[in-house]
Chain A
Amino acid sequence: MKIEIDEISKDFGSTAALTPVSLSIPSGALVALLGPSGSGKTTLLRILGGLEFPTAGRVLFEGQDATNLTVQERRAGFVFQSYALFRHMTVFENIAYGLRARPRQQRPSNPEITRRVTKLLELIQLPDIGKRYPAQLSGGQRQRVALARALAIEPRMLLLDEPFGALDAKVRKELRQGLRDIHDETGLTTIFVTHDQEEAMELADLVVVMSMGRIEQIGKPADIRARPATDFVRSFIAA
């Protein structure tokens, strides 16, 4: 799905988290929002997901104004930094949650839910953990379960907030490839937030470098490396 961000700004009280930013993301792209903490990248992601409302500006999905869509209506698969798995539910119930939460007419039957969850568990290559509780999983497994849970609702896009932030270096590398594979398999427009320039450059088709609530540069990783648009980008990607 094509996503357009049209002059979005966001104030929290008197502090501006985003000065007007505009961005167009082609359907099926894998995009990194890259920047240091406080650059507004997470705020932008949360606005796309419907978790925050912009002070000014619009969000368009496939050319349609989506600014006023509620978070439920947006159907954005959102993976949180802490994964936010439901601790009192098994992995299976976590993944099935979005399907069970649907209104009765749209809710799949129980066998259908089981089929879909099983398929998702295979997709994340953890077919045998359905009966476990999140507390019994490793960090990397939790991240993949969170991803499967987000995919279960047949999302229109995938939004990930620092998806590898809480993992150690080795697991990080493995899961990067995992995200790439899932993106390629599903073809979903995918946006992830990161402060790690290496991660952004390696994984994304398109990198959006942000700082202080502004977009510093938008481009393919190679272009940003070769031609940093500002001093900030130059020093940030050198780090």
Chain B
Amino acid sequence: MGRPLVHRSPMPGLGLSAGITLTMLSLVVILPIGALVLQGASFGIAGIWDTIHRERVWKALFLSFRISLYAALFNLVFGVILAWVLARYSFPGRRILDAAVDLPFALPTAVAGIALTALYAPNGLFGAAWKDHIAPALNIALEVPAYILNLVAVPLGFEAFVFEVPPRIAYATPGIFIALVFVGLPFVARTVQPVIHEIEREVEEASATLGASRYYTLARVIWPMLMPAALTGFALSLARAVGEYGSVIFIAGNKPLLTEIAPLLVVIQLEQFNYDNAAAIGIAMLVISFAMLLVINLIQVWSRRRIGYV
């Protein structure tokens, strides 16, 4: 036998702390997740596949993942900008913006859901502005690239292109996107911000003394340093978005096949006491989140191996 399971230590409380930790962990996390996995094992991979391969389930899973990906990508770009602005610049109102970044963590999702719906619904403040002014203006502006493209495309035998922005935000996929951006907003910003604080100014100065322009420095020196943290935040924000329920169901419209997300299907199946179907969809979502967890860990291992820190 090699290393002992627990090294001897003069510290008191081993039994008590280990006992509480392992009991709570088993009761709250391991047993319930185990129940789901067992349920899944009882009808096998083929059974799970049959359930999730039905059109309504498949579309819901695909919709959840697709819009979550868009939202996480938006948050990746916006979060890095936000972290940079908050860490590096001083301007009036900086502290308020900084505190506001955490609001999506603190504000209950149901509250966020009804508030976003109130704003972005066709009769809400932003929704009405979009429907009556912004969307028509964008559609007119989009006629220009469509016209230019059609100059080439139509003689080549393609059908004429028409670009149009969606007419409504709430009760359609753009609404889901906005809700998912909201709930994932803090992840990238809050993982990247401490890394920016740790960058030594001398490294940036070194780049400048070697003749690099500021943009070159940002792209070749600073971005590679921020990337592991940004990707971690991206994966966290994606995982959160795929599983998000509360903020989305109010704004989505929940039309089957069109704007119905996967977590909502779980709830619907449970309300109809279809435990097997609910479990199958639940397992599919669990697999997605475990895959995401794995990705996060791989990013950190890769980053640590390459540059000695996360």
Closest chain-A Cβ to B87's Cβ sits at a distance in Å of 19
- Which residues in B have some Cβ–Cβ distance to A below 8 Å? 200, 202-203, 205-213, 216, 220-221, 224-225, 306-309
Q: Mark A59-88, 1 if CB is under 8 A from B, else 0.
A: 000000000000110111110111011111
Closest to A159 in B: B209
Which 10 interchain pairs have the tightest Cβ spacing?
A98-B210, A135-B308, A101-B212, A84-B202, A84-B206, A78-B209, A80-B202, A88-B224, A84-B203, A87-B307
Q: In the complex, are the beta carbons of A150 and B221 less than 8 A apart?
A: no
Closest chain-B Cβ to A8's Cβ sits at a distance in Å of 19
Q: How many angstroms between the C-alpha atoms of A153 and B210 in the bound complex?
A: 6
Q: How many angstroms between the C-alpha atoms of A77 and B211 in the bound complex?
A: 10
Tell me if B's interface is mostly helix, strand, loop or mixed: helix
Q: How many angstroms between the C-alpha atoms of A135 and B309 in the bound complex?
A: 10
Q: 11 interchain pairs (CB within 8 A)?
A: A72-B211, A72-B212, A77-B209, A82-B200, A86-B206, A87-B225, A87-B309, A101-B207, A150-B209, A152-B210, A153-B210
A38-75 contacts to B (CB < 8 Å): 49-51, 71-72, 74-75
Q: How many angstroms between the C-alpha atoms of A88 and B224 in the bound complex?
A: 7
Q: How many angstroms between the C-alpha atoms of A88 and B307 in the bound complex?
A: 5
Closest to A86 in B: B221
Pick the residue among B209, B212, B308 that contacts A87 (CB under 8 A).
Answer: B308
Instruction: Known pairs A84-B206, A101-B220; list 4 more (Cβ under 8 Å).
Output: A50-B209, A82-B202, A84-B203, A87-B225
Interface size on A, residues (CB 8 A): 29
Q: In the complex, are the beta carbons of A51 and B205 less than 8 A apart?
A: yes
Contacts of A71 in B (CB 8 A): 205, 208-209
Q: In the complex, are the beta carbons of A97 and B209 less than 8 A apart?
A: no
Pick the residue among B205, B213, B224, B307 that contacts A135 (CB under 8 A).
Answer: B307
Q: How many angstroms between the C-alpha atoms of A179 and B308 in the bound complex?
A: 29
Contacts of B306 in A (CB 8 A): 88, 133
Asked whether any CB of chain B lies closer than 8 Å to the CB of A142, the reply is: no
Asked whether any CB of chain B lies closer than 8 Å to the CB of A10, the reply is: no
Q: How many angstroms between the C-alpha atoms of A102 and B308 in the bound complex?
A: 29
Pick the residue among A72, A77, A81, A88 that contacts B208 (CB under 8 A).
Answer: A72
Asked whether any CB of chain B lies closer than 8 Å to the CB of A195, the reply is: no
Contacts of A80 in B (CB 8 A): 202, 205-206
